[in-house]
Amino acid sequence: MEIILKYFSDFTPEQLAQFEALKGLYEEWNEKINVISRKDIESLYEKHVLHSLSIAAIADFQPGTQILDLGTGGGFPGIPLAIFFPEVKFHLVDSIGKKIKVAQGVADALELKNVTTAHSRVEDIKNRKFDIVVSRAVAPLGDLWRWSKPVLKKSAVPGKQFEKGLICLKGGDLAQEISDSRLKPRLVNVYDIFPEESFKEKFVVLAKS
Q: Which amino acid is at 55?
A: I
- Is 106 part of any known ligand binding site? no
Q: Are the beta carbons of 198 and 48 closer than 8 angstroms?
A: no
Tally the C-alpha atoms within 13 A of residue 8's C-alpha that lie toward its C-beta.
25
Angle at 178 between CA 186 and CA 136, to 5 degrees: 70
Phi and psi at residue 39, to the nearest 5°: -70, -45
Residue 136, annotated as binding a ligand: yes
Q: Is 123 annotated as a binding residue?
A: yes
Question: What is the separation, in whole angstroms, between the first and last Cα of the chain?
Answer: 37
- Does the annotation list 27 as a binding residue? no
Q: Is 75 known to sit in a ligand binding site?
A: no
Annotated binding site: 71, 76, 122-123, 136
Annotated binding site for S-adenosyl-L-methionine: 71, 76, 122-123, 136
